[in-house]
Amino acid sequence: MESPDASTLAATVLGRFAADIGHAGRPFVLGISALQGAGKSFLAAALVDAAAERGWGAVALSLDDVYLTRAERAALAADVHPLLRTRGVPGTHDLALLASTLDALAQATPGRPVAVPRFDKGRDDRYPAAQWPTVADVPALVLLEGWCLGVTPEDDAALDLPVNALERDEDPDGRWRRWVNAQLASYAPIWARLDALVVLQAPSWDVVATWRDEAERPLRERGDARAMDAVELARFLQHYERISRWALASLGATADLLVPLDRHRRVARTRRPAAPAIASRLAPTRGR
C-alpha cells in the first residue's frame, strides 16, 4: 500500500472510531489485522500521524515486536516440533510481554515511561531492552497490528489434510499444525482487549504470496544476505498458509471495519459487517 492510500484510509478509519476514542477515558486499542504485504504497518504509521493532527498521542505496536527470542524458539523446536524455530505462527509470541506492555501504556508517566518492545528481524531476535523506544504519557490510541490478529482456532477436523508440501513432508502426522492451532485459544485474552478490529482483506492467498515476493525482490536485487530466493520464500510462506487461508475465510465477519483490497492494494470501499463484530462478541471481557 502506497503512503497516500494509507493516509486516506487512515483518515477514514480514524473518523469511524473518533467518537469512541475521544470518550474512552483510557487508551483505545484498535486492532489492524492483515496478511503479509497488505499494508498494515503503513496504515498503523499513518494512523499515528492522523491521531497527532487531532492532538491525540498514539502508539503503534505489532505482534512482530513480541516474538519469542531466538533461544526460546530454539527450545520450542527441540521440545515440541522443529518447525517452531521459524517465527510467526501462533505460539511463537510472548503474550505475557504484550499484555504487560498494554497494561503499562495505560499508566505511562514522564517519571515512569514505558519501553515498547521491538524485534530485529535481521538478527532474528529482540533488540536489547535498552534500545526499545519509550512512551512517557498515556496515549489516547494504541494500534496493535498483526497478520493473525483476531483469528480463532479452526475446527480440528479441518487439520487432517495438509494444505501444502511443508505440512505434507515436514509435519506428516499433523503434530505441528495441531499445536499451532491450539495455541490460538491462548491469544483470545489479547483479542478481548481490542476495542475494535479493522481487517484489511486481501483478494486471495495467491495474491498475498505475490505481495510477499514483491517485498523480497529489492533485497535479492541488491544482494542482501537476508534475501530469500524463490524456493526459500515458497517454503517460508507455507508456514503461514493454513492460518492465512482461514483468516481470509473467517475474519471478514468478525471485523468492526472491513477494508477489501484488490491485487494492487487499492481500497474498493470500506464496510461494517452485518454480523456481530469481535468487539461486540468479546464485550464482557474487553477493556481489561
What would the pLDDT profile of 56-86 be if each residue is shown by its tens digit?
999 999 999 999 999 999 999 999 999 999 9
Question: Looking at the domain assignment, is residue 195 inside a domain?
Answer: yes
Q: Is residue 143 within 8 Å of residue 45, measured between CB atoms?
A: no
Within a domain: residue 210?
yes
Is 123 a member of any domain? Answer: yes
**Residue appearing with cell numbers 512482530:** 64
pLDDT of residue 272 exceeding 80, the answer is no
Residue 286 lies in a domain: no
| Sign of the Cα pseudo-torsion (50, 211, 225, 180, in order) | positive
- Whole-structure pTM value: 0.89
Distance CA 77, CA 54 (A): 46
CB 251 within 8 A of CB 34: no
Cell of 35: 496478511
Q: What are the strands, taking DSSP E only, across the chain?
A: 28-34, 58-62, 114-115, 119-120, 125-126, 134-135, 141-146, 196-201, 257-260
Residue 152: phi and psi, rounded to 5, are -110, 165
Spatial separation of the C-alpha atoms in residues 238 and 87, rounded to whole Å:
13
Percent of residues, the chain, with pLDDT higher than 70: 91
Distance CA 254, CA 251 (A): 5
Q: Return the sign of the alpha-carbon dihedral for residues 78, 79, 82, 85.
A: negative
Which residues on adjacent β-strands are paired with residue 67? 93
Over range 195-208, report the average pLDDT.
Answer: 96
Mean pLDDT, residues 152-177: 97
Cβ pair 83, 111 in contact under 8 A:
no
pLDDT score at 273: 63
In a domain, 288, yes or no: no
Domain extent at residue 231 = 3-281
pLDDT band at 225 (very low <50, low <70, confident <90, very high): low
Distance from C-alpha of 94 to C-alpha of 156, rounded to nearest angstrom: 24
Rounded Cα gap, residues 116 and 191, in angstroms = 19
Say which CATH number the domain at 83 has. Answer: 3.40.50.300
Question: Is residue 77 included in any domain, yes or no?
Answer: yes
pLDDT (tens digit per residue) in 92-150: 999 999 999 999 999 999 999 999 999 998 899 999 999 999 999 999 999 999 999 99
Q: How many domains does the chain have?
A: 1
Q: What is the DSSP letter of 174?
A: S
Does any domain span residue 62?
Answer: yes
DSSP string, 7-70: HHHHHHHHHHHHHHHHT-SS-EEEEEEE-TTSSHHHHHHHHHHHHHHTT--EEEEEGGGGBPPH
Q: Looking at the predicted structure, is the pLDDT value of residue 37 above 60?
A: yes
Residue 12 has pLDDT above 80, yes or no: yes
The pLDDT, as a whole number, for residue 229 is 83
- Of 195 and 222, the structure prediction assigns the larger pLDDT to 195
Is the pLDDT assigned to residue 3 strictly greater than 60? no
